[in-house]
Structure 1
Amino acid sequence: MDRTTTVPDSKASSSAAVLGAPCWVSLMARELEPALDFYGAVFGWTFRTGRLGEQFRVALDDGEPVAGIGALAPALQVAVAWTPYFAVEDADATSARIRERSATVAVGPVAFQTGRGALAADRDGAVFGIWQGKLVDDWESWRDREPAWLELRTRNAFEAAIFYGEVLDWAADRPGCCDVQYEAEEVVLRHGGHIVARLSSGALEAAPDPTIRPHWEVHFVTTDVPAKTATARAHGGMVIAQGTASNGPWATIRDPDGATFTIDTRAVAQQKA
């Protein structure tokens, strides 16, 4: 089933305006069409072409951008995974800061039509991306709608916050930078008063279960976790963890290609400063 439309991008803004903030989440899949079929069935997303080429699509929920899906894993020789991207002014300078702090830049910076990106891993192995240039869509609208939110599950949240703060200019005295606060045993990242990510301690570097090792976890907000969980199973996905939190049920799912994501009803920016 063809779920793809071609729509001109609009309201593109620069990564320089949202320093260090999460600016997008993207799935690097092995094959594009099977990934579109799975996520279209689970979430009801439709897709349009973007500015990153024929092997990349922007996922839309009721016409609004949610995430990116691309058959990029084989080309970049990286694992199939959902990956968060953080906005930076200079991808080269940021990559240098990552390396200086004993972390890894695995790919890039690579030039695309609208900017430059790189894939990295922090000192505990959690994979993330950086992006310099035009954002994929109107970032403030994406942030405010909260279709997805991020949680870093890491060995020590305080140490991780220092690393990311130094690399991404968190808590710097500059317009557009993120604020960092330690709340209820978590590090909370805010931009413009909105919570955009949380960092939690307790992950184990050598754990055999990849969901317990340090990683950035991408959460998609939904109103019906059980229904989407059942649909994911019916289309080849596997539920690897599930439970109930104060806000309702949640489930962590592995798609047929091996990428994991979590669905829940929690919106991280319910509290706005």
Structure 2
Amino acid sequence: MLTTRYLTGSPNWLDLGTPDLQGAAAFYGGLFGWAFQSAGPEAGGYGMFQLDGKTAAGGMTVPAERSGTAWTLYFQSTSADDTAKRVRDGGGAVEHEPSDVWDLGRMAHFTDPAGAGFATWQPGTNKGLDLVNETGALCWAELYTPETDAAMRFYRSVFGWDEFAVPLPGGDSYTTVNPAGAGEDAMFAGLVPLEADPAEAAEGPYWLPYFEVTDTDAVAASATRLGGTVRTEPIDLEDVGRIAKLADPYGARFAVITSVAREA
């Protein structure tokens, strides 16, 4: 599971690119109780979504004409420059070259060979998100991709991930990933074939973040009331929890889950 004891290859940051940061702050504030805190004028409008003063995500404005309205997941690296090289060597693309963010850390943005966007964060004084795996915070992620085996080879070459197959009813399995050598208890994401979900297949490859909530149905209803969209109605997954796939008013896709352990 996700923890703030970040390891190489584990998710350690998450941010939202949106054409209306004020509107997005109102939406997520109503949904998760987040409060937006600007990082100051020198940050170009970038800021933090916080719960009780702890950072659960970042956010920034992107031009409306861009197609960048989305959540971006960052994975920890000991060297953003080395990660960029491995991305290129593996057939991916470097969308934004590694650059320093003051003394906070070093970052870079990429797309994998299938076209899914992701990023890396090399920690400096900012070690990563303050909150994960708690109510209102990132707790899981899924990569929707045409070829899960090819995706696994790529991300293993970039971050050294291990994989673990979780059996599903009917004889299928769900490929999960975890930092190298950390064991299956450290799994933080799953890889899903695009063809397994027609709604996702229509949109193309991407990383979908999941946020923990106390009541999936109530959050889905609130998303609609606040101007968002319910992409997949709440459903139960045996021994996992109750999930729903949503989108904010500007099209950024995400999911929520009330995990079985929290229900218990």
* TM-score bracket relative to the smaller structure: 0.7 to 0.9
Task: Kindly report which structure 2 residues correspond to 1:147-158, keeping only aligned pairs within 5 A, or say none.
Answer: 147-148=137-138, 149-158=140-149
Cα–Cα, structure 1 residues 132 and 29, in superposed 2: closer, same or farther, change >3 Å? same
- Offset at residue 49 of structure 1 (A): 3.6
- Offset at residue 137 of structure 1 (A): 5.1
Cα–Cα, structure 1 residues 220 and 143, in superposed 2: closer, same or farther, change >3 Å? closer
CA contact under 8 A between 1:248 and 1:264: conserved in structure 2? yes
Query: In the alignment, what sits opposite 1:127?
Result: 117
- The separation in 1 between residues aligned to 2:149 and 2:188, in whole angstroms, is 14
Letter in structure 1 aligned against 2:165: Y
Cα–Cα, structure 1 residues 223 and 235, in superposed 2: closer, same or farther, change >3 Å? same
- Offset at residue 210 of structure 1 (A): 5.7
Q: Answer yes or no: is 1:187 the counterpart of 2:175.
A: yes
Query: In the alignment, what sits opposite 2:222?
Result: 231
Q: Answer yes or no: is 1:253 the counterpart of 2:257.
A: no
Secondary structure of 1:229's aligned partner: helix
Secondary structure of 1:79's aligned partner: coil
Query: In the alignment, what sits opposite 1:175?
Result: none
In structure 1, stretches of 5+ residues that fail to align are 1-11, 171-178
CA contact under 8 A between 1:197 and 1:268: conserved in structure 2? no
Count of residue correspondences: 245
CA contact under 8 A between 1:157 and 1:186: conserved in structure 2? no
Query: In the alignment, what sits opposite 1:241?
Result: 232
Please list the CA deviations of residues 147-195 of structure 1 after superposition, one character each: whole Å capped at 9, or x if unmatched. 212111222323222211111133xxxxxxxx43233223322355543
In structure 2, stretches of 5+ residues that fail to align are 168-172
Letter in structure 1 aligned against 2:131: W
Secondary structure of 2:91's aligned partner: coil
CA contact under 8 A between 1:65 and 1:137: conserved in structure 2? no
Q: Answer yes or no: is 1:23 the counterpart of 2:12.
A: yes
- The separation in 2 between residues aligned to 1:182 and 1:203, in whole angstroms, is 18
Query: In the alignment, what sits opposite 1:115?
Result: 105
Secondary structure of 2:250's aligned partner: coil
Please list the CA deviations of residues 66-106 of structure 1 after superposition, one character each: whole Å capped at 9, or x if unmatched. 111222x339x661101110011111221111111211111
- Offset at residue 144 of structure 1 (A): 5.6
- The separation in 1 between residues aligned to 2:148 and 2:57, in whole angstroms, is 26
CA contact under 8 A between 1:161 and 1:199: conserved in structure 2? no
Q: 1:65 aligns with which of 55, 61, 69?
A: 55
Query: In the alignment, what sits opposite 1:266?
Result: 259
- The separation in 1 between residues aligned to 2:77 and 2:200, in whole angstroms, is 32
CA contact under 8 A between 1:154 and 1:199: conserved in structure 2? no
Cα–Cα, structure 1 residues 122 and 241, in superposed 2: closer, same or farther, change >3 Å? same
- The separation in 1 between residues aligned to 2:221 and 2:199, in whole angstroms, is 26
- Offset at residue 55 of structure 1 (A): 1.4
- The separation in 1 between residues aligned to 2:63 and 2:86, in whole angstroms, is 27
Query: In the alignment, what sits opposite 1:80?
Result: 69
Cα–Cα, structure 1 residues 94 and 248, in superposed 2: closer, same or farther, change >3 Å? closer
Letter in structure 1 aligned against 2:68: A
Secondary structure of 1:142's aligned partner: coil
Please list the CA deviations of residues 208-250 of structure 1 after superposition, one character each: whole Å capped at 9, or x if unmatched. 8566632211011101112222221122111121231235432
Question: RMSD between aligned alpha carbons?
Answer: 3.2
